A and B are shown apart, each in its own frame.
Chain A
Amino acid sequence: MAADPTDTHTPRTSRLVLAADIGPTIRAAAFDDIDSSLRLLRVGESIPTGGSPHFDPEIGIAAALSDLDGALGAYADPGLPTPAAITGSRIGAALPALVFTNFPEPELVQLEALLRANGFAIAGRVEIGSRRLLDRHDPEALARQILEMCPRLVMLALGDDTGWESLAAFSELLRFAVRGRAPGYSPAVAILYGEHPDQSIVNALNDAFITRVVDIRGPGDGFNVQAAGGALADLHGALVEQLAFNGLRPKSLSTSRVVPLNAALGRVARSLAADGDLTLAVIHVEAPGAMIVLSHQGTIRTGVFGYHRAGATVEHIGLELDLEELLHWVPFDITEAEAGAYFINRAARPWTVPETTIEAALEQAASHMALRQAVQYLGEELPPLDLIACTGRNLTGAPRPVQAALIAINACLPGGYCQIALDRTGALPAEGALLAAGIDLQPGGGLVHLSTLIAGVGLDRPGRPALAVELRADESEPIQRQVNFGSMDRIMWDAANLGTVRGWPSGKLDIGGGHGRATTLRTRIAPGSGGLIIDARGRPIAWPEDVTHRRAAVLQWSQSTDSQSAPSPELEPADEN
């Protein structure tokens, strides 16, 4: 009997590419070649199993791949490939580095970029200057500094070192005052050296630590960036192997390239910015940490908060923040003890989701405060931002998308006009990891427009008219709002129509055209799910002194932007029928 042609299996022409994002949950994302470019198909998710009772990360990864396989159905035949790249806040978060250096400023900038590109963030710097290490520093204090900070990487970057004195002192401090002093602590060591090092010093370090020594004298006077980058990538790989996989990488990820999260997001930021020559920030918040990757005038800079502290991984950012300050942002009666209990329980089970409005409010406050700290890590206020792209579980999984916008606004404090987009699929880190692994794709396919912000920079008296805004959308009457200083508001309109925004700030505020000068946003905007958010709280945000007024202000901000969930008295009872 001849087979019915409709019964036969259609030969698959897809080119599935996988990437895994290992954070509070494991997310395996599948991409396929559609219309000559890789596009996200599905995401599989599971809970990590690296801890008790299994101590086997393979189980969790297999579960995420199996979930993905189920979601893809026949598309997954004859089987899923190994993820080409892995990243995430659990596996690819920037590792803290302590740098001892006598590099001049231009080379320091280069060094910082090099560290960042290879998965490290400078957590501390010891300036050696033009003299030997011990001329400027008490050796005992240096050893104490290392032990208190427990950086994953200790680096010596020295252009010159007469008689190896600084190299010897650095090596001896690590071997005789750091090694074996903190349980389980053993940093990786990188030496970028402008001299021929004494081999016995290098051998002694090699016996005690994972060590890489790089001759940084490149052709001419510059330093050999390529050799240094290779050594740092090597060390990052070794550390991740040890920290994330306990030295035993799961078989299902055996050939996957580990991409530092900041490098993955950096690739995304560079790609998104290149399209429109924008100044943009990609922000990522999950339970272990917050990160901002800024693309401005062709350079990428990264600010981080959380992930690692004193040699241990951070499980929840809430435990790293000042609870008294955090509760200023929560419009509920809740004590520090209750907030602390919530965060310590979340740290024990970071994959869980908030069930009540209070839990969501605590999570939201912790997210923006952690992100604010990451912004401050950059060392200067952000330039005017054209776009903020929100990703990471705390933002993509916010109960209401506009909550992610408010987290972004409260942390980045953009002034003037700024667009906010949300990575609804949560696939930006995976896309960045694939880009970093050399797989060509256009990231941001899952980004959706969330809100547009108009915000006044400057300070005024609370309650005074501060910002008037008019939105003219097609086929509807103009919508006008006047917002007093210290308040927020939001305009929503028909999603099918684009609108033109014009703002008139008071004389003390600036929305991009100068103090008191009206401006019109040249781009016509869609409302998105968050609409046009009007922020007249000033920059920095002006807080009422009085506790009651402060709480009222926080309530006004969240209610006016509709970023507070409706209270729910009970966990939802099931329908009885």
Chain B
Amino acid sequence: MKTDPTAPRATVTIGKLRRRHTLPFPGEILVKLGDTVELGTPWARCTPGGRTSVRDLAGLSRLSAARIGEALLSREREGVPTGDLLARGRGTLLRRRDWTAAWPGAVTYVSKISGLAFFAESTDPAPLYCRLHGSVVEIEKDKHIVIEGDAAAIAVALGHGGLGFGNILVAGEGPQTSLPVTGEGEASLIVFTESLRFDWLTAFPRDRLAGVIAPSVMASEIKSRTGSPPTHSALAEILGEFPLLLTEGIGNASMPGALQRRLRAHEGRPASLVGSALPGRAEILLIQPDEAAAVDDDEVRLRIGAGRFLGSEVSLLPDESLSRHTGAGLLTPHLEVRSGDRGRLHVPGLNLERLDP
């Protein structure tokens, strides 16, 4: 039966891109509408809320809510070091009910209605950085900005560890490769083209690694380090806050050739990566990419995005799609593709992704 397939999902787009930059915590936006911003420069400063200690001060002091100010030993908004007494509680002989500062901070609010008092840990404002080079085209006060700039966006399967900025540097296979990442210099985004082994990363000085892009990590590699199946928390246990992108996913997949070519063509040039654990958010942004990186032929390059051949690069054959059964028995539209090492295959249209823009 001939059918119209669901068009394979696009994973690369090139041109003027817009990216929304959102304040995750209350903060201050530092740029103005129309400003030109550079990749990796701050666009906002936000202050993550620290730990908060809350006490029913009226209950603690046995004063009415209207009078709890009398129980406080520290003034509102006044900095207090760890261990300082904030309020003396009325307890019994054997049980003191004093309220002390568990960390440096300040009393942020005292309520004369509920009798509650809040003591918040002091935190430093943190800068938020631009993921694109371009201009600010939209600002919503206290919420977000939108930056527009020339870039190539490459959607990846999995992300971890937040943002990374630097020049692209493509490693060979394994740790033996000699990369110019010793000594002084700017941090780079290292690209591995084979399934990542975490011990490769130990070969590089950490301060020279702004992030890692790899096609995949084997489940056994994660299990051997954490004893857990692959999850985002297992990756966090291994990498901490270190940015990592997996273009294909968990497994033994290599990076498709078309993607490798695009990243190699951008070697030594700036990029950012968004190591977001939120599905669909993780991506590589190649700043002001060279359009010539695209191969000039008529082939439609795809990759298999699921199953045992995850990450395999294939070319679409011109035949129409056919409804066929998958190995699991599901009747679904398949496309006919050619793989360099596996010949002609029928793959479900929903499991294919376009590697060309």
Interface size range on B against A: 35 or more
Q: Which of A52-60, A370-378, A549-557 contacts B (4 or more CB under 8 A)?
A: A52-60
Please judge, given known A-B contacts A53-B153, A53-B155, whether A337 and B113 are in contact too, CB under 8 Å: no
Closest to B338 in A: A574
Shortest Cβ distance from residue B107 to the other chain A in the assembled complex, whole angstroms: 10
Contact of B155 among A51, A181, A354, A356 (CB under 8 A): A51
Those of A545-575 within 8 Å (CB) of chain B: 565-568, 570-574
Would A52 and B328 be within 8 Å (CB), given that A345-B157, A355-B348 are in contact?
no
Complex: how many Å from CA A11 to CA B136?
Answer: 51
Closest 7 CB pairs of A and B: A51-B280, A340-B229, A568-B327, A399-B329, A360-B328, A565-B329, A183-B24
B74 at the interface (CB under 8 A from A): no
Q: Which residues of B contact A143 (CB under 8 A)?
A: 52, 54
**A341 & B219 in contact (Cβ 8 Å cutoff):** yes
Partner of A139, one of B48, B116, B309: B116
Residues of B within 8 A of A1 (CB): none
> A48: nearest residue on chain B (CB-CB)?
B280
With A354-B328, A399-B331 already in contact, 10 other A-B pairs whose C-beta atoms are closer than 8 Å = A52-B156, A53-B13, A134-B116, A337-B219, A337-B230, A345-B306, A400-B329, A565-B328, A567-B327, A571-B345
Query: Could you list 17 examples of A-B contacts with CB < 8 Å?
Result: A52-B155, A53-B12, A165-B114, A172-B111, A172-B114, A176-B109, A177-B54, A339-B229, A345-B306, A353-B350, A354-B328, A355-B306, A356-B328, A357-B328, A399-B326, A574-B336, A574-B344
**Distance, CA A313 to CA B155, complexed state (A):** 19
CA distance A276 to B348 in the complex (A): 40
| Known pairs A53-B153, A180-B26, A183-B25; A70 contacts B4 (CB<8 A) | yes
Interface string of B257-285 (1 = CB under 8 A from A): 00000000000000000100011111100
Q: Please report whether the interface of chain B is mostly helix, strand, loop or mixed according to DSSP.
A: mixed
Taking the closest CB of chain B, its distance from the CB of A572, in whole angstroms, is 5
Q: Does B6 contact A (CB under 8 A)?
A: yes
Chain B residues in 8 Å Cβ range of A45: 6
- Flag whether B347 is at the interface (Cβ < 8 A): yes
- Which residue on A lies nearest to B229, using beta carbons? A340
State the total of A-B contacts with C-beta under 8 angstroms. Answer: 246
Contact of A25 among B6, B283, B309 (CB under 8 A): B6
Is A177 within 8 A of B52, CB to CB? Answer: yes
As a 0/1 sequence over residues 299 to 319 of chain B, the CB contacts with chain A under 8 angstroms (1 = contact) are 000000111111000000000
CB of B49 within 8 A of chain A?
yes
User: Does B222 interact with chain A (Cβ within 8 Å)?
Assistant: yes
Are A359 and B328 neighbours in the complex by a CB distance under 8 Å?
A: yes
Query: Given A51-B280, A337-B229, A573–B345 Cβ distance below 8 Å?
Result: yes
Q: Which residues of A contact B223 (CB under 8 A)?
A: 337
The minimal Cβ–Cβ distance linking B170 to chain A, given in whole angstroms, is 21
Contacts of A134 in B (CB 8 A): 56, 59, 114-116
Separation of A347 and B114 alpha carbons in the complex (Å):
44
Q: With a CB–CB cut-off of 8 A, which chain B residues contact A355?
A: 306-308, 326-328, 348, 351
B351–A352 contact, CB under 8 A? yes
Are A246's CB and B20's CB within 8 A? yes
Bound Cα distance from A345 to B344, whole angstroms = 24
